[in-house]
Structure 1
Amino acid sequence: MREQILEVLKEIEETHQVKILYACESGSRAWGFPSKDSDYDVRFIYVHKAEHYLSIDPIGVGSNRDVIERPINDLLDVSGWDLTKALKLFRKSNPPLMEWMNSPIVYYQAYSAMDKITDMQSEVFTPHSAIYHYLNMASNNSRKYLQGDTVKIKKYFYVLRPLLAARWIEVKGEFPPVEFHVLIEDMLPDGVLKKEVLTLLERKMIGDELAREPKAEVINEFTDSEIIRLKEYAKQLNLKKEDPTSKLNGIFRETLKEVW
């Protein structure tokens, strides 16, 4: 499958006259719990030639788009962001972008831009924005999927993964790992809850994910109470970081020279 993905990326470069700097997996395969029929969620960062950025319509405005998207099919979901978009989001400590950067499945990387960006992650990362991102995701998904008498197995992970990511930020003060099994091992103590989560995870991966069954009370009690607790904790966070714009402008200009 990797070869097919690389062929698609090469086609994108030729069609759009760009160079791809980085491409990774961003979905359940990166999280470590794909289903048998999971597609491949490929995300990439690319850069145009220098003259493309010298326009009266800034990139990202009107028809001068800062994203490239391929039609989604049953096997591949491929989309990417222009480097300028990625750097502006990185400046804001954008969690989805940082998940791309930390994906355990990298399909392609070229040039030095991503190494330079990754080296800046600790100085750009803002715990309060990331923890609110994951808490909002967990809270919204809990309200949407876990409040009925019966629950689909896969929906538990839409709440547990962001919730454990938020807990990781609280405990370690750093961006959480993408892999769900790492979050489980480090953030859940041995006991009934951890055993129940691991059992559901095993069932999901063998294909039981769409089954509806009575909700797991031990998990619901944990998610409900942890969302409340972490929301109170997040209110205390408001750490300011030094503006990294000058450094990011430098990375952008250096990348244009290096690539083209």
Structure 2
Amino acid sequence: MNKIINKLDEIQDEQKIAILFACEAGSRARGLESENSDYDVRFIYVHPRDWYLRVDLEAQRDVIEYPLDDKLDISGWDIRKALQLLYKSNPSIIEWLQSSIVYKKSNSFYEDVKTLLKKFYSPYSCFNHYLSMVYRNVKNLDKEKIVGAKNFINMIRPVLVLNWIEQSHQVPPNDLSTLAGQVISDQNLYYAIEQLVKSKKHNTEFNNPDNIRLLNNFVSTELDRLKKAVPPKQPTTRDKSELNQLFLDTVNSVS
């Protein structure tokens, strides 16, 4: 973790920004890491106030990306981009803010943005996102024909998220085992998912025919059911004043 924090400090100095929040967003955040897993570090940053006072603000780059280096995959979004995506209930920013592995945070910003996450979270938007993801991943499996633990997880996890949203209408956790423990009541199915997680973490083959059959049937049955279970759509226009205020307060606090 120290290496990651030091790298984030370097990025702040190099880019002349303040990092407000940095987290793990990949397999490690989902409880699926193996020995060879990269560190997928994602962050939200803010420039000094004067950077935002320009006519061509919309033309300025609002993403910072670094090439993969020694298993570190690091990228970040400007605060305006992050808050705009939060307003749209974008699943990526939601997963960042739900991460249990936080490398760096401004306490005031973090608490405020987590409060706004609950306000702007849209079960409808997220449900449709993950439903599309399942269809896409199932199609990819058909094309690849060879099915490994990672392929199965890409198919199973969004189905579990969809079940979570359907059952609770709340923001889903990132951890796959937590999701399964909350939404799966069938013990055989839960066991198959746990074996899948172990296969992914230990880089072993997932080749038990009973477990494969069980998971395939689960995905197929759930797809047919879930496409009819889309939550009601929320109003498309909502008050942005709290997002604007958080943006202004944050910019002023670092200038």
Distance of 2:27 and 2:246 partners within structure 1: 31
Q: Does 1:67 align with 2:67?
A: no
CA distance in 1, matches of 2:143, 2:192: 18
Structure 1 position 80 matched with structure 2 position 76: yes
Out of 141-150 and 14-23, give the one that drifted further. 141-150
- Residue 165 in 1 paired to residue 158 in 2? no
- Structure 2: distance between partners of 1:188 and 1:203: 19
Question: After the TM superposition, which segments of 4 or more aligned residues of structure 1 sit over 4 Å from their partners?
Answer: 146-150, 211-215
What value does the CA root-mean-square deviation take over the aligned residues? 1.9
Secondary structure in 1 matching 2:199:
helix
Task: Report the Cα distance in structure 1 between the residues aligned to 2:144 and 2:49, rounded to whole angstroms.
Answer: 53
Q: Equivalents in 2 of 1:240, 1:187: separation in Å? A: 28
Of 125, 129, 140, the residue aligned with 2:136 is 140
Matched residue count: 254
Whole-angstrom CA distance in 2 between matches of 1:151 and 1:13: 41
Q: Which residue of 1 aligns with 2:246?
A: 251
**Distance 1:68-1:77 versus aligned 2 partners, 3 A rule:** same
Identity across the alignment (%): 37
CA-CA distance at 1:241 after TM superposition: 6.8
Structure 2: 5+ residue runs without aligned partners?
none
Contact map agreement 1:86 1:97 (CA 8 A) in 2: yes
Q: Which residue of 2 aligns with 1:15?
A: 14
Q: Residue 32 of structure 1: CA displacement?
A: 0.4
Q: 1:184 to 1:195 in 2, by over 3 A?
A: same
Counterpart AA for 2:249 = E
Q: How high is the TM-score relative to the length of structure 2?
A: 0.94
Shift of 1:150: 4.3
Deviates more, 1:112-121 or 1:213-222: 213-222
Aligned 8 A contact 1:111 1:258 in 2: no
1:29-57 deviations in whole A, cap 9, x for unaligned?
Answer: 00001011000000000000111111121
Counterpart among 80, 89, 94 of residue 85 in structure 2: 89
Q: Distance in 1 between matches of 2:178 and 2:13?
A: 38
Name the residue aligned to 2:172: 176
User: Residue 227 of structure 1 aligns with which residue?
Assistant: 223
| 8 Å CA contact retained: 1:40, 1:75 | yes
| Aligned residue type for 1:129 | S
Task: Tell whether the 8 Å contact from 1:23 to 1:108 is kept in structure 2 after alignment.
Answer: yes
Counterpart of 1:76, as a letter, is L
